[in-house]
Amino acid sequence: MIGVMGAGAFGTALAISLTGNGPVTLWARDRTHIDEMRIAGENARRLPGTALPDTLRLSADIDELQHATIVLLAVPMQKLRTVLTEYAPNLAGKTLVACCKGVELETLQGPVQVITETVPDAVAAILTGPGFAHDIAKGLPTAMTLACADALAGGALQDRLSTANLRLYRTTDTIGSELGGALKNVMAIACGAAMGAGLGESARAALMTRGYAEMQRMAQAVGARAETLSGLSGFGDLTLTCTSEQSRNARFGLSIGRGEDFDASVTVEGAATAQAVQARARALQIDMPITDAVCGLTNGQLRVDQAMNNLLSRPLKEEKC
């Protein structure tokens, strides 16, 4: 049995998709939410419009995951440690797959390291890459990255979590995989802000490309493989997120560019991650000007015109990572 913790958009989409492979239990912390989903036959709060299969088990009782050998962790990055710490005894010995994208603000760690620290005897993996919850829930063709340092365990997971429409590519490079997913959200905020401020599609292409150079620089400094960043979890997700208004990070950026309010209850991983990445980049002495701009935009210290001026007035340089 596969367990999914977190009945948000992504957890629900994955649970729907995986019921074709065998028994799945979707766990949420809020019993009322579970009751609502049972009555409505859909997750109206987080993923409206897609029916939940009858075979999908819904539960607010963590003990129902005791027979799950694989548990997908579909909660926001900044909540991952809290959830794992609370339920560590229930998760010991299982294969835990992070389904979140980001860097923890307090420790500057990625999700795999957080799993390893909080549940040391678990097998830790990450599922990441270009895939919107609504597309996956509808069974639209999607390809993502499954990263696990243990190649054997990663291969077994790839088999268990791939479906007819969700094609997973495996890698042992967990560092590169989680970095790509974390940083593309930061770049999506930058692109959204540029589009929202009317700076044009050429500016967006420049931000995506130079954003990708920042991703490569950071990857190189922390021991990730360059090929991982050029794959689904890096370049693939960067492309999807920076060019689609389905992305909440891009929409958040758009609202900044337009000077509009944004609903604070919406999960936007890139804002906290930008601050965490900036701190890490400074410690490693890596130049990340677009990340710096996103930090300034999201903490209210910079307007879009100031951020863009900062980027454009940098000394001219050779084109390289």
Ligand X SMILES: NC(=O)C1=CN([C@@H]2O[C@H](COP(=O)(O)OP(=O)(O)OC[C@H]3O[C@@H](n4cnc5c(N)ncnc54)[C@H](OP(=O)(O)O)[C@@H]3O)[C@@H](O)[C@H]2O)C=CC1
**Contact set with ligand X (CB under 6 A):** 6-11, 28-30, 46, 74-77, 79, 82-83, 99-102, 131-133, 267, 269
What would the two tokens of residue 202 be? Answer: 């050429």
Three-state DSSP class for 153? helix
Go through the chain and tell me how many residues it has. 321
Contact 291, 281 (CB under 8 A): yes
Q: Pick from 27, 132, 212, 235: which binds ligand 13P (CB under 6 A)?
A: 132
Three-state DSSP class for 145? strand
90 annotated ligand binder: no
Measured from the CB atom, the residue of 24 and 133 that comes closer to ligand X is 133
Contacts of 61 (CB under 8 A, 6+ apart): 27
Catalytic choice (138, 184, 317, 320): 184
Of 13-21, 47-55, 195-203, 242-250, the window that binds ligand 13P (rule: CB under 6 A) is 242-250
Q: How far is the CB of 130 from ligand X (least distance, A)?
A: 8
State yes or no: is 320 an active-site residue.
Answer: no
Contact 289, 314 (CB under 8 A): yes
Q: How far is the CB of 87 from ligand X (least distance, A)?
A: 9
Cα–chain center distance at 37: 24
131 binds ligand 13P (CB under 6 A): yes
130 binds ligand 13P (CB under 6 A): yes
Q: Which does 100 bind (CB under 5 to 8 A by kind): ligand 13P, ligand X, none?
A: ligand X
Mode of pairing for the β-strands spanning 47-51 and 42-43? antiparallel
Report how far residue 89's alpha carbon sits from residue 78's, in angstroms, rounded to the nearest whole number. Answer: 20
Report how far residue 185's alpha carbon sits from residue 274's, in angstroms, rounded to the nearest whole number. Answer: 9
Measured from the CB atom, the residue of 91 and 136 that comes closer to ligand 13P is 136
247 annotated ligand binder: yes
Contact positions toward ligand 13P, by CB under 6 A?
A: 101, 130-132, 185, 188, 237, 240-241, 247-249, 269
